[in-house]
Each structure stands twice: as structure tokens, then as C-alpha cells.
Chain A
Amino acid sequence: MTQSVVVQVGQCGNQVGCRFWDLALREHAAVNKNGIYDEALSSFFRNIDTRSGGDGPDIYKGKICSLKARALLIDMEEGVVNEILQGPLRDVFDSKQLITDVSGSGNNWAVGHKLYGYQYQENIVEKLRKTAEHCDCLQCFFVIHSMGGGTGSGLGTFVLNLLEDEFPEVYRFVTSVYPSGEDDVITSPYNSVLAMKELNEHADCVLPIENESLFEIVNKIHQMVNSGKLGSTVKQNSMITSSTGSAKMAQEKPFDAMNNIVANLLLNLTSSARFEGSLNMDLNEISMNLVPFPRLHYLVSSLTPLYTLADVNVPSRRLDQMFSDAFSRDHQLIQADPKHNLYLACALLVRGNVQLSDLRRNIERLKPSLHFVSWNQEGWKTGLCSVPPVGHSHSLLALANNTCVKPTFIELKDRFMKLYKKKAHLHHYLHIDGMEQSCFSEAISSLSDLIEEYNELDATKGGPRTDPSRLKIAV
């Protein structure tokens, strides 16, 4: 069994990360009835002997003593991290896993990346090594951050670079929250594009998230719960937005519901690696199957169901509905339109009480309405994990490598260019040591190249299909 380490950077990264750890504990508590520290738990948690006070040695087998998250919390201002440490999760993190500063990055990628990066490099590397040492077989780093600000965006991508240099064999999955059009941070286009270049070059897989989508999902659930008709029968702890049953319940904050969705994404993504099933799907398989060309590693994710009704008996038709929902825009975590664009690859990770035949039937059913690239007409990666998420009897995570991310990137580029043409706010960046005009031009060029790669693939869509001729053998 392998371990993963979560690196949460910046305010957004830490708030999402916090929800992740909370829900992870809830999920394991639901599955692990005997209180034995098992391999599933060890993928994200260490088991520490605290009886002698303070930080004891790791206990690899036997009863759970004290669980510690395999995490690194980084923020250049203290507010968020301090809150976490005073909250109900304080015992899950230890003080040696934190890196904080006081004044923040001022929504400036250069401050985060160049200034703080340089300043904290050694500290970060040391703490990463320590965390890695506690892992028997480290497989993956999950970086959680936002793109629009300064710390998550700048320092977060700096850490991504470090991860590649220091741990080249370990996978890097990045969960990035992209800024929306009406973002109140004026310089978010700069920060995002500068960060994109780093993601293009140093991440194995990126799961882009847009707040608008999360918001819409929250609203949809809200409406369903309060609609009166079915509201009373929605299982509280099943809502993808809820913290019910976790440590956090008492003081829910405004972003908590949205962040819970992202936390659930990560839990579902890693479920097949942690729990058993008839067709396992490990993290390295996700990267292998969904990334046909190194830079095209942006995956559109969608989660279903968003909640369960208390009625436990789910007839087959409802199950089919779950699969259909996974391909509907309401369940996606970014605003994009995969159905009208080109699929390069698609993965379906099913959890819980779903049989192979249900999976196959639904793939056959949905396939005709989706456009797959000519060289991957039947490109589906599937996984079956026996353990469902809390409050559900089954669930589905769909990950798509689809050219529908292109419009998102084009918009980002446009917003960048609007500012850049007028050199607006540029001086804030350029006066940081190590930051030059070329950083900007390289970043925009990297984004343009990426968009061009998607363009080339889109151009093949709908065209006449001529299969390349096969090798001829002399008879």
C-alpha cells in the first residue's frame, strides 16, 4: 500500500485541505470499526504513540493511538492556519508540519514564488523530506491551492517545482481553484497565467476547479433540501457539501460547503487506491491512462450523486441516472462543455454497490453521444471500488481529458492580455528580485502553446476517419 502527502498552500488551499482531512477521518471512521490502524488509513495518516507525551514513534500495526495527517500546511499569513490549529482538527496536525509567515503575499505571484520561495526553500525541503521519511512507499503528492492569489499561486507552484526536483519519482496531482471572471482580485489573471506555466511543466495531473461550479452545486442541493417535497428525506451526511458527522459541524463557514465538494473529489479519487475492489484503479493508473501527451494533463471532474435520499433501495434505473448525471454539466467542478467537445480519454471510478454489468451497460449507453478522438474511440478507464462514500450506497467520479478546457484557458489568456497590454500593475511584479519581463512573455507563450495543442486535436474532430494503413507482411 502506498502513501500520499497533501501539501496545502495559501488560504484557499488550507481551507480546502482542512475540509479534506475532516472528511477523510469521517470516511475512515465509518469503514474502520475495530479501531485498528490498517493499510487504508496509512495512506493518508500516521499512527503516533503519544503515551509518553509529545511526538512518539510511528506505530505501524495494532490499535489506533493518535492519527496524524501526512500533510504540509503552508501559508504566508497566519490567520487560516492558526484557526485550523485551534479548531477540532488541531490534534491531527503537528506543529512541525507548518510553515507560516505574517504578512501574506499581497495577491502577488512574484512575492509568493520568488520572494517567499527563495526565503523558505530550505525549510520547505526539510519538512518535505521529514514527511517522506515517515512513508514506507510514497506514491503521490497532492497540492491544493488557488491560482488567482499570491501564496497559493506563487509559493504553491514554487513548491511544485521543488517536489519535482527532490522527488522526481513521486506523482504530483494538483487541485487548482481557477479564478472566475468576476474575481475581485484584479491581478488574478497575471497570477493564474504565471502559475499555469508551472502547472504545464511540473504537474503530472491537474484537476481544475471553478468556484462558480461549486456554487451552483451548493445551490442545487440547497434547493432540493428546502423544496419541501423531497427535502425531509435527504440523508444529511450524504450531501456532497455537508460536514455532518465530521469534527467541524458546529461552526460551518460560508465556503465550507463548496470546499467539501473538493474534499470529496480527492477522497473519491483515492478511494480505489485505499480500499479493495474487483477492479482497482490506483493513482499511477490515472496518470497513465488519462495523459496521452505530457502537457495535456488537465482533467475535468464530475461527482455524483450530490446527495442520497433516505430511501435505501436503489433500482437499476436510478443507477443509470447516476451515470447520466456524471456527464451533465450540473455535476462538473468546472464550467465547461465536454459533450460538445472532444474526449481524449475518460475514466469512471465507481464506488459501492455497483456491478460490472451496470458499468458496462452504461458505457454502451452513453458512448454514442460523446465524441472521442479518432485514435481512442473506445478509450475508457474503469475502476470498481467496493467501499462507498459515507451516506451513500454507491457513487461515481468521472474524470475526463477533454478539449473543453480550451475555452477556459483562452478566457484566461484574454483577461491576461487586457491587463498586460496596458502594463497595468506590472511594476508590482517586476520590482521583485528574480522577476523579469521574460517571465511574463514565457508564461503567456506556454499558455498559447497549450491552447494550440488543443486546437490541433479539435481540428481532427468530425473529420473523415482514415485509419493509418497497417504494416504489410510479405507472404
Chain B
Amino acid sequence: MSIVTVQLGQCGNQIGHEVFNAICGDVHGTHGLCSKTENESYRDACKERFFREEESEVPVARAVLVDMEPKVISQTLSIAARSGYWKYNSRSHFCQKQGSGNNWANGYSVHGPKHKEVIMDLVQKEAEKCDRLGGFFTIMSMAGGTGSGLGAFVTQCLRDAFPTSFILNHVIWPYGTGEVIVQNYNSVLTLSHLYQSSDALLVHENDVIHKICAQLMNIKQISFRDVNQVIAHQLGSVFQPTYTAEGGLHYSRNPLGDLMETLVPHPEFKMLGLRNIPQMPENFLAYSAFSWPGLIKHLRQMLIANAKMEEGIDWQVRPPRLGSTLPSSHSTNKPLHFNTSIANLVILRGKDMHSVDLGSFQDPSLYTSWLNPQAAFNAWKTPRAFNKYEKSASLVSNSQFLLKPLDSVVGKAWNMFASKAYIHQYTKFGIEEEDFLDSFTALEQVISSYSNL
């Protein structure tokens, strides 16, 4: 089954391009470290998911590029074509001239309805070119105007037009100290709206990725390109082909469906965080050796201590003892800083992954009490190494990972809302104070639900 990617706004387009680059680079590399047949299956599965073959041409990404101003898209199209390994369909993009001005209302209420037909037409065309449509993957930032506002609108349209398809939104959380002053408003409006139409939100935080670039990748002068490449690597580690069933003979063909099934048992809980280890500069790889037990141990501690990367993990945090004596209406008998999960998915790429013991992830104390812990954990594997890492382990987690960031964004937005600052910029385009209140209410509900795990 194939995934259609919708890249929205400057961020969405810049990241989308890096994602296709990473995936293509991985497939064409000689570092699969597995048998030839294995490699070929992997490559075919990957191609089916993300690319179309056109006669005597490089593979074409199954993507629609949308932006309200032309500079980024034209850059993205030309850079991709120059790579020689893949390209975008030259007609599969839509842009306007004037941008959304970082204004969510402009993206959602003005650009959305105005360009709905054209955009959905492009999406429809891409969807029709898939033998079997596996769902949609949208990439957007929350902080700006197009990715956030138009992105929320397009997601709604996707839901309406494809009621049974899976929709996964990849959302970029902006730096805490501003890239855009009204980013908290835009974020609140985006999240509350996406929650209604999307199946799940996969989040990357700029602050976190920045730290990874600085501390793990040793990059001195970090640019957005560096940040986007780390994000692309992490996404690739999730979406490249894997075997989802123990002893499965074929690479799974329904990645989005599988993801939703394992991670989103309840519609109230849609926030997914992503961790990937190891991460290091390319030139270190040759000198490093990893063991699965080591990687698993780190990944698990990252999960329960809510560590953002493999350095600076708090090893003091322990899961609570089950059967604790305090009965209470909400489970505050869990120790502070402990990250409670709803569901977790671990993805292992590299040789000897068959023998890996993942029992530590199946410990019921990691999970909330109202779910069956057997169903809460899943593992996908492949012996084929990913992107030059001999062994690589990823964790996609539906847990309290994003509780604090969410609470922080809502808090700051509320603070600003109380003073009514900038509201006139939104009402100008049809988003009223009640719309803000609705969004705040919806998100406080999500915060409350996650807090009470």
C-alpha cells in the first residue's frame, strides 16, 4: 500500500524533501548488511510505499507540495531533481503568491476554502495513482500560518474526502523562545483542529532536535537543514519497511494502519512521540559498536524517564511497584517524573534482531491501568540496517512524552489570550474569541486525559 505525503508550508516542504532524500539514500546505499534478496524485498517495499516508477525515469515521490508563496516550493523541486535519484512530479504542487503571514486564520479561513478544490484535486490525482492507498502523511509546522492553518483545513478535507483512510500528521513543535510571536496561538488552534480529523499526531520538537544536533551530532553551526536531516532520519527509521509479525515472511504493506492499530486504541489519546538511537556524526559510525541489550536498556529508560535523547538520561526514575496500597481516583501513586504509557512501538533495524529480549517493554507497570498490557506493546523488526547505522532502535510512544510541552504551549497561549493581544489579527479573518475558547477547552481536555493516566 502506498502513502501519499502532503507537504504544507515552508517547514513541511523543507522537511518533506529531506525525508524523501533520507529514504532514497537508505535504499540506494550499500550498507544494508543483509542478503541480496532481503535487500531487494526492502527496496521494493519502500518503493511501493513512497515512490512511483515512471518509464526510464527516476522514481517520483508520491507527494503533493502546498505553500502560499512560491520561493520554497521552487527551491524544493529543483534541488530534488538535481539529486538524480528521485524527483517530485513537476505538476504536483500548488502555490500562491502572498503567504499566510503567520496568521492561522488566514491559512484556515481564507486560503483553505479558496483553494480547496485545486489542492484536493492534486491529492486525488496522487491517490488514484496508488494501486492501494495506505493513507496520508502530512508534514507541517504549528507555528506559522500556512502549515498550521491551511494544514488543519486540508486535514479536515482529507478526512471528509477519504473517510476510511488513515491520516497521520507530522507536526513540528517550534522552539520555546520564539520563531514566531503568535506561535502559541497558532499551535493551540492547529492542535485542537487536527485532533478532530486526524488519526494521530507524530510530534518533533525543534528544541529537542537542536540539542541532538549540538550534543550528539557535534554540529557546531546548526542550520535548519541539519535539524531537518535529523528529523528525516528519525522518520525514515519508522517508515522504512519492517516485518510487523513475528516470523512474518513479507514486509508489512500497511505501515500507517499498523501504526494506528498498535498505538492509538482510544481517540482521546493521539499524541505520539518519537525517539531514535543511536545518533551520532557519520564519521563516528565506523568506530562504534552497539549491542542490542545496551540499546534496549537505554531506550526503555528514555521512555520511562521521558528523556529526549540518549545523553543525560535520569537513571533514578523507576517504574512504580504494582499493587501499591493507595487507591485514588487518579493514579497519583506513580512516582513523579515517571512517564506513563498508553502504548509503545519499538522498531529494530539491523542484524541479530531476532534474539533481542524486549520483555522490559512489556512490564505492565509502564502502562496505564485501564488497558491490557499485552496489547499495549508491539515490535517491528528487520535485519536490514538503516541509513549506515549497523543497529538502530526507534520508539514511537503514545505516552505522557508531550504532556509538558503541550501544557506549556497552552499556558503561554492562554496568558496572551487573557490580555487579548493580537486577537484583532485573527478576527480580521474570521476566527473569533469563541473559536479560541473552543480550542483551549479541547486541549485542556487532552491535557487532563494524559495527566490522569
Interface residues, chain A, CB within 8 Å of chain B? 1-2, 39, 136-137, 139, 276, 278-280, 282, 284-285, 287-294, 344-345, 347, 355-358, 360, 363-364, 367, 374-382, 384, 467-468, 470-473, 475
Contact = CB atoms under 8 A, between A and B. Distances in A.
A284 B222 contact: no
A436 B227 CA distance: 61
Interface in B20-77: 69-72, 75
A285 B385 CA distance: 43
A142 to B, nearest CB: 16
Contacts of A473: 441, 444-445, 447-448
Contacts of A364: 177
Contacts of A292: 421-422
Given A285-B102, A294-B424, A375 B416 contact: yes
A187 B6 CA distance: 60
Contacts of A374: 415, 419
Nearest to B100: A284
A15 to B, nearest CB: 31
A378 B421 contact: no
Given A279-B224, A280-B71, A381-B178, A470 B411 contact: yes
A168 to B, nearest CB: 11
A290 B422 CA distance: 9
Interface string B424-453: 110000000000000011001101100010
Nearest to A470: B414
A289 B102 contact: yes
B179 A137 contact: no
B224 A356 contact: yes
Contacts of A367: 177
Interface in B180-234: 180-182, 210, 213-214, 219-225, 227
B278 interface: no
B180 A289 contact: yes
12 contacts: A279-B10, A284-B103, A289-B180, A289-B182, A293-B421, A357-B214, A357-B222, A363-B178, A376-B416, A467-B414, A471-B444, A473-B444
Contacts of A358: 221
A288 B424 CA distance: 10
B91 interface: no
B419 A375 contact: yes
Given A276-B72, A278-B14, 20 more contacts: A137-B98, A278-B224, A279-B10, A282-B69, A284-B100, A288-B101, A288-B422, A289-B181, A375-B419, A376-B181, A377-B412, A378-B177, A382-B178, A467-B411, A468-B414, A470-B411, A471-B414, A473-B447, A475-B448, A475-B452
B410 interface: yes
Nearest to A471: B444
A150 B94 CA distance: 47
Interface residues of B, number: 56
A293 B426 CA distance: 12
Contacts of A137: 97-98
A137 B180 CA distance: 24
Interface string B80-104: 0000000000000000011111110
B239 interface: no
Contacts of B447: 473
Contact of A468 (B176, B418, B441, B452): B418
A400 to B, nearest CB: 12
Interface of B: 10, 14, 69-72, 75, 97-103, 145, 175-182, 210, 213-214, 219-225, 227, 329-330, 410-412, 414-416, 418-422, 424-425, 440-441, 444-445, 447-448, 452
A355 B213 CA distance: 13
Contacts of A347: 181
B15 to A, nearest CB: 12
Given A280-B72, A375-B421, A470-B410, A288 B103 contact: yes
- Report the 9 A-B pairs with minimum CB-CB distance, sorted nearest first: A284-B101, A380-B178, A357-B222, A292-B421, A468-B418, A137-B97, A355-B221, A289-B181, A278-B224
A367 B220 CA distance: 22
A379 B420 CA distance: 15
Contacts of A355: 221-223
A467 B415 contact: yes
A1 B221 contact: no
A360 B210 contact: yes
Contact of B415 (A278, A375, A381): A375
A293 B424 contact: yes
Nearest to B71: A276
A376 B411 contact: no
A60 to B, nearest CB: 13
Contacts of B213: 357
A285 B10 CA distance: 14
Given A279-B224, A356-B227, A376-B416, A290 B71 contact: no
A39 B70 contact: yes
Nearest to A367: B177
Nearest to B224: A278
Contact of B99 (A284, A290, A381, A470): A284
Given A39-B70, A378-B176, A382-B178, A139 B222 contact: no
A200 to B, nearest CB: 15
Given A139-B98, A467-B415, A378 B178 contact: yes
Contacts of B178: 363, 378-382
B424 A1 contact: no
Most chain A beta carbons < 10 A, residue from B103, B181, B223, B419: B181
Contacts of A293: 420-421, 424
Contact of A382 (B179, B182, B210): B179
A377 B97 CA distance: 32
A380 B422 CA distance: 14
Contacts of B14: 278
Contacts of B422: 288, 291-292
Contacts of B145: 285, 288
Nearest to B410: A470
B210 A357 contact: yes
A363 B179 CA distance: 11
A265 B69 CA distance: 23
Contacts of B97: 1-2, 136-137
Nearest to A474: B448
A261 to B, nearest CB: 26
A84 B108 CA distance: 46
A363 B14 CA distance: 24
A280 B69 contact: yes
A285 B99 contact: yes
A381 B69 CA distance: 19
Contact of A471 (B10, B176, B415, B440): B440
A1 B71 contact: yes
Contacts of B329: 475
Given A284-B98, A356-B223, A357-B210, A279 B179 contact: yes
A293 B227 CA distance: 34
A379 B10 contact: no
Nearest to B177: A378
A63 B264 CA distance: 56
Contacts of B414: 467-468, 470-471
